[in-house]
């Protein structure tokens, strides 16, 4: 069964929130390319990674970097939480 774009986005965001570098890499083919063209030069977040292994390694390096201890995730503003609020609930 294929995933919807929203489900793919949610998996990507969840992987980032949990620091799971394998999860986003597994969303790509072996020769897939991860590109983040809006990432400014010098930013810690990778702008271009080619190949599943490079995606996994690049994201792992990003997730392992020291994080500002004062930073927190605002779940009320999170795209994942907002998407779940928009979904119709079980009837």
CATH code, domain carrying 9: 3.10.450.50
Stronger pLDDT, 6 or 70, i.e. the higher one: 6
Say if 73 falls within a structural domain. yes
pLDDT for position 91 = 45
Say if 58 falls within a structural domain. yes
Give 60's pLDDT tier (boundaries 50, 70, 90). very high
Query: What's the number of domains the chain is made of?
Result: 1
Say if 27 falls within a structural domain. yes
Say if 91 falls within a structural domain. no
Domain ranges, residue 33: 5-86
pLDDT for position 86 = 53
**Nearest of 58, 51, 53 to residue 31 by alpha carbon:** 51
pLDDT digits (tens, 9 = 90+) for 9-58: 888 888 888 889 999 899 899 999 999 999 888 888 899 999 999 999 99
Vertex 26 angle, CA 23 and 31, to 5° = 140
């Amino acid at each position: 069964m294929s995933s919807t774009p929203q489900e793919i986005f949610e998996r990507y965001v969840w992987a980032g929130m949990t620091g799971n570098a394998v999860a986003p890499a597994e969303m790509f083919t072996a020769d897939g390319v991860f590109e983040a063209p809006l990432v400014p030069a010098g930013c810690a977040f990778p702008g271009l990674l080619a190949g599943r292994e490079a995606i996994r390694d690049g994201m792992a390096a990003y997730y392992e970097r020291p994080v500002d201890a004062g930073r927190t995730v605002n779940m009320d503003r999170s795209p994942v939480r907002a998407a779940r609020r928009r979904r119709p609930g079980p009837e």
